[in-house]
Structure 1
Amino acid sequence: MLKWLSTSFWDYIAGKILRNRVALLIIIFAFTAFMAMQWKNMRFTYTEANLLPDHHEVNIQYKSFLDKFGEEGNLIVIGFKDSTFFNAKNLKTWEKFIANIKKDKAVDFTISIEDLRVLEKDTLQQKFKLVPFVSNDKVSDEYLKQKEKELFNNLPFYEGMLFNKESGAVRFAIYMNKKIVNTAARKDFVLKYLSKDKIEALEKEMGIDIRVSGMPYIRTLNSQSIIDEIGLFVGAALGVTSLLFFFFFRSFRATFISMLVVIIGVMWSFGTLGLLNYEITVLTAIIPPLIIVIGIPNCIFLINKYQQEVKKHGNKAKSLQRVISKVGNATLMTNLTTAAGFATFIVTESELLKEFGIVASLNIVSLFLLCLIIIPIAYSYMPLPKEKHLAHLGKNYMKSFITWIENTIRKHSVAIFAVAIGLLVFGIIGIYQIKVSGSIIEDMPKNTGFFDDIIFYEQEFDGVMPLEIMIDTKKPKGALKSVTLKRINELQETIEEIPELSKPVSIVNVVKYAKQTFYNGNPEYYELPTKQEEAFILTYIKNSTKKGNDNMMKSYVDSTGQYARITTFMRDIGTDKMAKIEERLQNKIDKLFPTERYTVTMTGKAYVFEKGTHYLVHNLVLSLLFAILLISLLMAYLFRSVKMIIVSLLPNILPLVITAGLMGFLGIPIKPSTILVFSIAFGISVDDTIHFLAKYRQELKANNWKIKRSVYATVKEAGISMFYTSVVLFFGFSVFTLSSFGGTVALGSLVATTLLFAMLSNLILLPALLLSLEKSVANEEEFPEPTIDILAEDLEEDSSQIQ
């Protein structure tokens, strides 16, 4: 037996806590103030979560692409589907709106109606030059209608990029400065020029419905939604748990103490994020409310034990001492298993999950210390609970519930096992129906204006999620070779055949446009030059890029001419469809680009996220297995019995299988948000098992190792606290269903459902399994004394701890 976790150790701790109340409260207050000062270091995320480790091949390829072409997620689009835009009044209003945006240092350049440039042939200097599409000195309603017609019919280069010829939708582009697009300056820019109020005012003045989207805009509003929901979750979690707590205990005093403990825990969790300089992401944002939901069960166990002791002998000092010494180990063990469920994320190579696991596990352990110190100290300054505060211990509804559990175990053991096996089979069948899915915008708030705008751009321009293909020709200027252009063109034709992808853009489009311009703008010549035409058309192009005037090609070819890019955009599709598209494109790439002459890589935000999802699912399955192994080892260390390891794991694995089965049958896919459910729920549900088995062994010893009597006594003794905590956890996690993020809703509802199944499993299946071990009598050899005194025996403690 470990001396430092023995009964005498906890007696010592109880004495220290109760004798040093003032000093401990001062330390907690000072540390809370210190953690509050760390809030200033908290940072909100400005990019999508990168689910892959830095050294992963896909990340390396993406960084290589960024080195060659810069940030590809810097495009904001503003569009509409209304022909009334093309009149003098609206053009003037639009120019006024866009003028300030152009001047802002956050903007590199814009492509709008008034600054749209088209190619014009300069025969004298044998080059192409960019000229304004609209002449300001000719603006009239009639002139603009003519220009609208010209845009849609004579400029195929901009088709799919700036307009949809079939529907008449038009969009203009704002390219943000690549150096600040992923900084706080992006948020300032978006809120200054593209806020809801600004856009609504513009819509009212112009009389058209305006749609704004693009990755910088989506990221900004999505991040703001995360920030807004932190307050919602904390408030809802406090409200729900405090109401439940008061309903159970009918004590303002107990409710206030519990709320104080978890509020301090929340402050520490925010402080931890600041202290470690971690970003607030969609995952770390749920840690503060998690602390509330997980902290309340600690309070329930401690306060329930205090009130049980007071009801038993009425001695406050003895009751407070026993709260610490009798349930200290049990509460420590349950908090360690919960923390272990979160800590398993640390072994993954995803920074996003590592940070989530570190902050959550650290704060769960610190929450245990807060509960163990504050609750006994607070009650030491208060009078004994009145009879009405203890009435809940004998409530009729609780007696009825426990009696029903006992009768079910006693009379229907065969039915219990039959139902358990049936649910297991149900779950396994459902698991085979689960699909892996996920996209950058899949879990974004669907009840927001910016999500509606995403759908608009999906319908009109086939999405806003960039997918990039980078082609390394392995030779300087190789991107402009005729053979390379033809290969790129054929690959683009394949991309155009895929309905989930937008019309691609590359150097090929520029060369086609150059040929059209060479033939005086005739759209019938929008195609690659023939062998005979190449010499003089490419000469025009090369002359056009001299003297730094390389805007025509710099977006599509790097400065050496060795690397070319193809840019397309993707609809919001799951990773399963994305994998099929990737396979189709890769087959075409392998056919068109021999590896000895080219290196072609697919990349971009959409591609990286798809690969990250599969990587994360694989890692989280491993983390769940690691959690099961870790907790199994803990159980083996605690109880030193193979039977107890099996008995403890079965009631907790079964709810995971049931939940996974439900996901399969209900069509809920495995994705980053839903895969988290299993490790979290397993770590929490094992808490009830530890409490039950610890109390069960105590009852065995007290009842001369008679199994039946011990099982029923344990159900009566531990059942109330297990019920209370499970109800709090169920409704506590249910508050996440208030989220506008689909992933957070799925996480909350699935964890709540799993914990509900786990409560019933631990209260019904676990006792039934214990009864099945032996017919009537056990002995100490079969169920040896735990390595650690999880629950202390009912000995007469010294009641002089409080001076």
Structure 2
Amino acid sequence: MQKSRNPVLRFPRLIIVLCLAIFAVSAAGVFRYTLSYDTRVFFDPEGADLAKLRAFDAKYGQNNDVLMVLWADGRKITEPEVLAALGDLVSRAWRLPHSTRVDALTNFPHVSADDDSFTVADLVPDPANVTAEEARVIERTALGDSLIRNRLLSADARAAGILVNFNLPAEASVEVQEIVAASRALVAEFEARHPGIEVKLTGNVMLMATFSEAALNDIKVLIPISLIITSLVMFVFVRAVLPSIAILSLLGLSSAAAMGLAGWYGYEINTATVACPIIIMTVNMAAAVRIVTTAMGALGRGVGRHEAIAEAVSMNLWPVTLTNATTMIGFLAMNLADAPPLRQQGNVVVVGICLAYVFTFTWLPALLSLMPLRPAVQRSERVMVLLGHFVNRYYRQLFFLCSVIVVSCAMWLGNIRLDDDFARYFDWRFDYRQDSDFAEEHLTGLNIIEFDVGSGEDGGVFEPGYQERLAAFEAWLREQEGVVSVIAIPEVTRRVHDAMNAGRAAEALPGDRETVAQYFLLYELSLPYGVSLNDQINVSRSSSRVTVILRKMSSSQIRDLDERATAWLADNVPPAMQAQATGINVLFANLSGVNIRSMMLATLVSVLLIAVVVGIALRSAVFGALSILLNMLPSLVGFGLWGLLYQDIGLAASVVTAMTIGLVVDDTIYFLLMYQQARKGGLDPEGAINHVFEVVGVAMLVITVSLTVGFGTLAFSGFEVNRSLGAMTALVILSNLFIDWLMLPPVMRIMENARVRRSGTTVA
């Protein structure tokens, strides 16, 4: 390709201006971005599970809360001074913006009755004036109450919870920011007024804020780290400052423009899309480095600057086109994921790959043509030639060794557990994680599952049979491991019944519907301000809510409890009362499995499409079929090593295989292209393999190092899904280099030997 025939090299300044114009228009979309504060962003808006949760919220109200955990340096909460401070915090919590209800030890509705009266009043009516004797009575009463113990007061009475509920609109970014800011300001002021007492903040609203904080933290931390590491990797391979800057500018333009276009389209910044710039820079780095090193190598042979750049573009156009196509297939397959952020991540990366492809063959050569380039002396090829000779000499032994390793990794797959912990998606750099761990250690559980238990008729919740069966379900739940509290309406019935029959022998629950209905009417009329049963029973009184609070339960344990609870209901209650668990924790517990099932099809589609692309591009059905086998092995090896080293996989694992299929095939394509050309050029299999290592061995190393280091950057993320995604992808990509260097060449030799034997037999 001559300069006179290449418009990029003929008009480099014009090309640069046009590229900058495309970048400016595209990147302007970043100003349209908004931060997502929604914990439900990971669920399909049209999915059945989310629809079920929305219906539950519509029936019983939203579960948007902030849990304040009060800790007095190990002192008992029931000490008069601490109770006074608790009462002060409760009264101030009512003033938080958008608050609708505050539940705490002091204002807990305590039922009492005598021969003449029935009352439901605050357990601590005047927290500021409690005597030592009253404090002992309060502690004894609270710890004997299953709705207070391990929920609003710890079992050792040394931590207390204030649960503030909020009414939020569907899109609540502004409201969440207001609540979080006000809550933190309240805590700071309270701790200043009460030295020696501290307050931890957790709960669903704080979690919403932490999702956005994690996204911002990744922007501030990961992108600078990625740029530094990318610069170092490029300098190692390019060994020149100006060409490295040219590559960096290409990667920066591509990632920023892709993010801008996503902003124009209406995407939000969330914990998944925030990783897109890093992934875009990572997957496009190798092609740019390859073009620069090829051009500098041509300069080393005495070729002129423009001719060297044109030669580099010409040599790499087809391989880069092919590898970009297969990479895009892998990321497009993420559209079959159930989690919308993963779909968005795949789409943004695909846009970034397209933009980088255009800029690689326009912006980069135009910029290089205006730079003083130095010839490069390629020494790495010598090492690659030696590696090629080694592989050829011991190809049978290497094939056996690699096969043993692959089989071993396949066996280690059995160690993998589909498990994660939604409450610990964030690491210790976030206050939410520290405060949540403190809350679970000292007060209560943070995983909550809900059951909507119907009765089959209006007013049916007052039926004695319904109450008895629900009480049995409540008792069964309390016996399960990890359950710290269960909230259900039979407890209300039992309390009123006991109070109304104080001092007299009575059945555990009343035996007629009218009495139960009267109990609930009396109870609701006696409740203090801000408290009702509307969050426990629906309007028609045909169904009620059972809330189960779990401590330190992983996703697999939540799924197991859900299955056992569903089975218990199926065996012990009529069909109208049968239910399955719902709640945000249940949705997250099922998320990994749902996505893995949906991505199985995506992986299959990716593998087949890539095989077709490779087969058509190389005009060889054998090579297409070979790509299917060899490009599944890196995932098998990578996941096997993960099973050996870590065991647990979660949401990230659902997309790794489909995504990496398009990445790991890059090395295979380079190898097969050069091997095919060498064989057509008359080289025998051994000579062709040596030629491949000499010509593209370094390119394969560049691809692997850039991808491994780039995805490895995600290990610095504070968000577990991004950390796991980066680590698992890096492991699979490293496994791929092992397969392509030490197993693919022996496979080619064995196939060629078999073909020769068949030909010889035929001739004979």
TM-score, normalization by structure 2: 0.91
Tell me if structure 2 keeps the 8 A contact 1:467–1:606.
yes
The answer to whether residue 64 in structure 2 is matched with residue 57 in structure 1 is no
* Residues 1:163 and 2:153 are matched in the alignment: yes
CA shift in 2, pair 1:777/1:546, >3 Å: closer
Q: Which residue number in structure 2 is paired with residue 435 of structure 1?
A: 417
Aligned mate of 2:693, from 712, 715, 722: 715
Does residue 623 in structure 1 map to residue 614 in structure 2? no
Using a 3 Å threshold, how does the CA distance of structure 1 residues 69 and 409 change in structure 2: closer, same or farther? same
Q: Which residue of 1 aligns with 2:762?
A: none
Matched, 1:663 2:642: yes
2:741 aligned with 1:763? yes
In structure 2, runs of 5+ residues without a counterpart are: 760-764
Choose which of 241, 250, 270 in structure 2 pairs with 1:252.
241
Match of 2:69 among 52, 61, 78: 78
Say yes or no: does 1:645 pair with 2:633: no
Give the residue type in structure 2 aligned to 1:386: R
What is residue 752 of structure 2 aligned with on the other side?
774
Please, which moves more after superposition, 329-338 or 510-519? 510-519
Cα 1:475–1:406 shift into 2, 3 Å: same
Separation in 1 of the partners of 2:492 and 2:652? Answer: 42
1:109 to 101, 104, 124: 101
Match of 1:570 among 535, 546, 550: 550
Distance 1:626 1:436 in 2: 23
Q: Which amino acid aligns with 1:318?
A: E
1:308 aligns with 2:288: no
- Cα distance in 1 for partners of 2:168, 2:500 equals 33
Equivalence map 1:545-556=2 (5 Å) = 545=524, 551-556=531-536
| Cα distance between partner residues in 1 of 2:145 and 2:506 | 9
Alpha-carbon distance in 1 for matches of 2:580, 2:98: 30
| Equivalent-residue separation in structure 2 for 1:159 and 1:386 (angstroms) | 74
CA distance in 2 between partners of 1:567 and 1:334 (Å): 52
The 5 A counterparts of 1:706-745 are: 706-745=684-723
Structure 2 counterpart of 1:231, one-letter code: K
| Deviations 1:131-160, CA, capped at 9 Å, x for gaps | 333344971553662464354256454333
1:142-541 matches, cutoff 5 A: 142=132, 145-146=135-136, 148-152=138-142, 155-166=145-156, 168-179=158-169, 182-194=172-184, 198-199=187-188, 202=191, 205-383=194-372, 385-387=373-375, 390-391=376-377, 393-394=378-379, 398-399=380-381, 401-519=383-501, 528-531=508-511, 538-541=517-520
Aligned: 1:47 with 2:47? no
Instruction: Mark the runs of 5 or more structure 1 residues left unpaired by the alignment.
Output: 1-9, 782-803
How far apart, CA to CA, are the structure 2 residues paired with 1:321 and 1:527?
Answer: 93
1:131 aligns with 2:121: yes
- Per the alignment, do residues 276 and 123 of structure 1 end up closer, same or farther by CA in structure 2, a change over 3 Å counting? farther
The one-letter code matched in structure 1 to 2:374 is K
Contact 1:617/1:671 (<8 A) preserved = no
Q: How many matched pairs?
A: 755
2:8 paired residue among 11, 17, 21: 17
Give, in angstroms, the shift of residue 590 of structure 1. 1.2
Q: What residue in structure 2 maps to residue 5 of structure 1?
A: none
Alpha carbons of structure 1 residues 135 and 470: separation in structure 2 relative to 1, 3 Å? closer
The answer to whether the aligner puts 1:31 opposite 2:22 as a matched pair is yes
**Alpha-carbon distance in structure 1 between the residues aligned to 2:682 and 2:446:** 71
Cα distance in 1 for partners of 2:135, 2:711 equals 57
CA contact (8 A) 2:42 2:341 kept: yes
Partner of 1:594: 574
**What secondary structure sits across from 1:175 in the alignment?**
strand
Task: List per-residue Cα deviations over 1:151-197 (Å, max 9, x = no partner).
Answer: 425645433331233554321211122437943321332133226x9
Q: Is the Cα contact below 8 Å between 1:14 and 1:321 reproduced in 2?
A: no
1:158 partner SS: coil
Q: Is the 8 A contact 2:496 2:523 kept in 1?
A: no
1:700 aligns with: 679
Structure 1 window deviating more from structure 2 (74-83 vs 103-112): it is 74-83
Residue aligned with 2:535, SS: coil
* TM-score, with structure 1 as normaliser: 0.87
* Code of the aligned partner of 1:502: V
**C-alpha contact (below 8 Å) 2:486/2:548 kept by paired residues:** yes
Counterpart of 1:754 in structure 2 is: 732
SS of equivalent to 1:466: strand
Give the stretch that moved more between structures: 553-562 or 102-111: 102-111
Which residue identity lines up with residue 680 of structure 1 in the other structure?
Answer: M
Q: 2:660 is matched with which residue: 681, 694, 719?
A: 681
Residue 351 of structure 1: how far off its partner (Å): 2.2
Q: Secondary structure at the match of 1:603?
A: coil
Counterpart in 2 of 1:582? Answer: 562
Q: Give the counterpart letter for 2:542 in structure 1.
A: Q
For each residue in 1:407-436, what CA deviation from the matched residue of structure 2 results, as whole angstroms up to 9, or x when unmatched? 222210111110121122112211233221
TM-superposed CA distance for 1:641, in Å, is 1.4
1:512 and 1:527 in contact (8 A); partners too:
no
What CA deviation, in whole Å up to 9, does each residue of 1:590-611 have, x standing for no partner?
123211x435232111222222
CA distance in 1, matches of 2:387, 2:549: 57
CA contact (8 A) 1:106 1:186 kept: no
Question: Match for 1:31: what amino acid?
Answer: I
Q: Where does residue 796 of structure 1 map in the other structure?
A: none
CA shift for structure 1 position 257: 0.7
For residues 157 and 123 of structure 2, the distance between their equivalents in structure 1, rounded to whole angstroms, comes to 22
**Equivalents in 2 of 1:727, 1:535: separation in Å?**
75
Moved more, 415-424 or 98-107: 98-107
- Structure-2 change in CA distance of 1:187 and 1:329 (3 Å): same
Shift in Å, 1:729: 1.9
**Which amino acid in structure 1 is aligned with residue 398 of structure 2?**
I
Distance 1:180 1:83, change over 3 A: farther
CA contact (8 A) 2:104 2:163 kept: yes
Q: 1:759 to 1:95 in 2, by over 3 A?
A: same
Rounded to whole Å, the distance in 2 between the matches of 1:134 and 1:296 is 65
Residues in 2 aligned to 1:100 and 1:492: alpha-carbon distance in whole angstroms? 34
Q: 1:131 to 1:12 in 2, by over 3 A?
A: farther
Aligned to 1:206, what secondary structure does the other structure show? coil
Letter in 1 for 2:566: Q
Pairwise CA RMSD: 3.2
How far did 1:767 drift? 2.6
Which residue is 1:605 aligned to? 584
Once residues 226 and 528 of structure 1 are traced to their aligned partners in structure 2, the CA distance between those partners, rounded to angstroms, is: 52
Measure the CA separation in 2 of the matches of 1:526 and 1:174.
Answer: 36
Percent identity, aligned pairs only, is 16
CA distance in 1, matches of 2:237, 2:505: 79
Deviations for 1:485-506, whole angstroms, at most 9, x for unmatched residues? 1111100001000121232102
Q: Distance in 1 between matches of 2:284 and 2:352?
A: 10
Q: Name the CA distance, whole Å, in 2 between partners of 1:754 and 1:545.
A: 60
Read off the aligned partner of 2:433 and give its amino acid letter: F
Return the offset for 1:544.
Answer: 4.7
Aligned with 1:530: secondary structure?
coil
Range moving further from structure 2, 286-295 or 455-464: 455-464
CA–CA distance in structure 2, aligned partners of residues 186 and 400 of structure 1: 60
